[in-house]
């Protein structure tokens, strides 16, 4: 895949969230995190697919709808907090990621929410957390540009 994110609006993006047990706030902080990360990458706001209060082994109507549209080529990028949203079982989660990428949709995980802080001055030659974040963002942009299909 090779996604050109330099032309605004050309990349179609989705996000997927699943929570068990039911989250009365509908995972709003996670929605905000998905939107914020998309913005940091220069991507448009994602369309969010949600399975709230559902176990990974049961029916997941939000994931089923997402898989249907991904199979049709509707989205180029899927943002997730981690593969655990597909299943708490690593093999099943990995299989879902492979299926989505097999349809030509890149799966990007959100970076960790908390950057560990060091006590005392930074050692010479180390990157400050903001520089490290900028480097991570640059790497994500490079992956998007390199991996876009066609």
Cα–Cα distance, 148 to 150 (Å, whole number):
7
CB atoms within 10 A of CB 26: 14
Measured at the alpha carbon of residue 21, what is the angle toward residues 17 and 24, in degrees to the nearest 5?
75
Which pTM does this prediction carry? 0.71
Q: What is the pLDDT of residue 122?
A: 47
CB atoms within 10 A of CB 74: 14
Q: What is the pLDDT of residue 132?
A: 46
CB 13 within 8 A of CB 44: yes
Mind listing the pLDDT tens digit of every residue in the chain (150 residues)? 555 554 555 789 999 999 999 988 889 999 999 999 999 999 999 999 999 999 998 899 999 999 999 999 999 999 999 999 999 999 999 999 999 999 999 999 999 865 554 554 544 444 444 444 445 555 666 666 666 655
Upper half-sphere CA count for residue 5 (Cβ side, 13 Å)? 25
């Amino acid at each position: 895949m090779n996604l050109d994110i330099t032309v605004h609006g050309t990349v179609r993006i989705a996000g997927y969230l699943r929570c068990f047990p039911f989250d009365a706030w509908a995972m709003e902080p996670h929605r905000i995190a998905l939107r914020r990360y998309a913005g940091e990458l220069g991507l448009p706001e994602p369309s969010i697919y949600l399975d709230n209060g559902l176990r990974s082994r049961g029916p997941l109507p939000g994931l089923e709808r997402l898989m249907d549209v991904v199979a049709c080529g509707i989205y180029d990028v899927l943002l997730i907090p981690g593969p655990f949203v597909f299943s708490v079982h690593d093999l099943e989660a990995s299989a879902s990621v492979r299926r989505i990428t097999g349809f030509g949709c890149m799966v990007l995980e959100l970076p960790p929410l908390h950057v560990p802080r060091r006590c005392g001055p930074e050692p010479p030659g180390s990157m400050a957390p903001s520089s490290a974040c900028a480097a991570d963002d640059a790497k994500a942009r490079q992956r998007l540009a390199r991996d876009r299909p066609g």
